[in-house]
């Protein structure tokens, strides 16, 4: 991860002045939707880069130590060794950015990565994920326990009611408590944009989250009806850029929910490069929250290497 965002004092005047031009955002989003992705070897290279941005995730009610163990092994070796060999890429160069699990599975993930003699961040959702409706004390304790179990990144959810009703000081204070509970772990703040009412609210929530010390801002839990979309990504990226220009502190961005195809992942990389610059095309500042995306990327890489498409059964877990 990059240097921590220390946060700043809550600037309500800055927040109150925010206005987002909805039509301009939608026009910009159409630009990204119309982009053509790179072809042939350039596409394969960018797809390998996209793999390194993935937070490989399992957030299911039936998660067990065994399926978390398999997830970790896949994160360590996300693309088959023979495919990497034919592309002249060392296996150590390509891992996912992290694995992301529920708090109860953090210790399992840490143990699996240690047993594989690997070094990979373990992220945990927390603070009453996905709704964030449990008591504040419970949400804080959940962060503390996840960190104690070995999580080095915490994906927290905001209290959407505070954002929807404009209680920005209360939201800021809650996030500061979560930031303190994270200790040395990086805090990735989920806005759950599908539950927010306007682009202006999304921007304000982004700004307050960064002021409170969030190291990343993240679109969604993946459980809302609407998750990561280009319009909300543009709004959040502009907030990140404005915060950086004002404070000098870089904050990362993580779209999550609904990103399933290799082609989509390349469009997201293009958006980040254009909106925030090449410095953000690093796992330290950009992540993709996904569970099924990796399978399609590996399928496209298989096609690049062999000239034909494999069934998913031909792409076993590493």
Question: Sorting pLDDT into bands at 50, 70 and 90, what band is 311?
Answer: low
The two structure tokens encoding residue 111? 């143990």
Residue 121 near residue 96, CB atoms below 8 Å:
no
- Identify the band that residue 318 occupies on the pLDDT scale cut at 50, 70 and 90: very low
By annotation, the residues acting in catalysis are 218, 254
* The pLDDT value given to residue 92: 81
Range of weakest confidence among 88-102, 131-145, 198-212:
88-102
Q: Who's near 252: CB < 8 A, 6+ residues apart?
A: 2, 188, 215, 216, 217, 240, 280, 284, 285, 286, 287
Domain ranges of the chain: 12-306
pLDDT at 228: 96
List 98's β-bridge partners, or say none.
Answer: 55
Of 30, 220, 200, which is closest to residue 125 (Cα–Cα)? 220
Residue 208, pLDDT score: 98
Rounded Cα gap, residues 211 and 317, in angstroms: 41
Coil, strand or helix: which one is 133?
A: coil
pTM of the model: 0.94
What's the confidence (pLDDT) of residue 1? 63
Residue 46 near residue 269, CB atoms below 8 Å: yes
Strands of 122-126's sheet in order across: 252-254, 216-218, 186-190, 153-157, 122-126, 98-101, 54-57, 288-290
| CATH 3.20.20.70 is the classification of domain 12-306 | yes
Average pLDDT, the chain: 94
Q: Is the pLDDT of residue 130 over 90?
A: yes
Mean pLDDT check: name the lowest of 82-91, 182-191, 283-292.
82-91
* Mean of pLDDT values over 143-170: 98
Report the C-alpha gap between 202 and 164 in whole angstroms: 10
């Amino acid at each position: 991860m990059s240097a921590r965002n220390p946060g700043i004092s809550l600037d309500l005047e800055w927040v109150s002045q925010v206005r987002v031009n909805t039509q301009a955002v939608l026009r910009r989003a159409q630009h990204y939707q119309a982009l053509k992705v790179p072809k042939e070897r350039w596409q394969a290279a960018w797809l390998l880069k996209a793999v390194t941005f993935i937070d490989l995730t399992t957030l299911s009610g039936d998660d067990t130590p065994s399926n978390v163990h398999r997830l970790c092994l896949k994160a360590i070796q996300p693309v088959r060794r023979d495919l990497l060999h034919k592309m002249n890429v060392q296996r150590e160069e390509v891992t996912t950015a992290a694995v992301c699990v529920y708090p109860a599975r953090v210790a399992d993930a840490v143990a699996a990565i240690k047993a594989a003699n690997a070094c990979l961040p373990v992220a945990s959702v927390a603070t009453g994920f996905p709704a964030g409706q449990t008591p504040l004390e419970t949400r804080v304790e959940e962060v503390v326990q996840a960190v104690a179990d070995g999580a080095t990144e915490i994906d927290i959810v905001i209290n959407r009611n505070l954002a929807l009703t404009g209680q920005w000081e209360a939201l800021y204070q809650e996030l500061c408590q979560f930031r303190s509970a994270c200790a040395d772990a990086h805090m990735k703040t989920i806005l759950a944009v599908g539950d927010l009412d306007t682009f202006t609210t999304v921007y304000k929530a982004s700004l307050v989250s960064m002021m409170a010390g969030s190291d990343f801002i993240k679109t969604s839990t993946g459980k809302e009806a609407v998750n990561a979309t280009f319009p909300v990504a543009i709004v959040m990226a502009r907030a990140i850029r404005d915060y950086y220009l004002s404070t000098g502190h870089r904050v990362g961005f993580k779209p999550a929910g609904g990103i399933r195809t290799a082609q989509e992942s390349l469009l997201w990389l293009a958006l980040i490069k254009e909106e925030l610059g090449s410095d953000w095309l690093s796992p330290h500042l950009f992540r993709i929250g996904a569970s099924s995306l990796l399978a399609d990327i590996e399928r496209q890489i298989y096609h690049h290497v062999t000239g034909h498409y494999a069934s998913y059964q031909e792409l076993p877990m590493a």
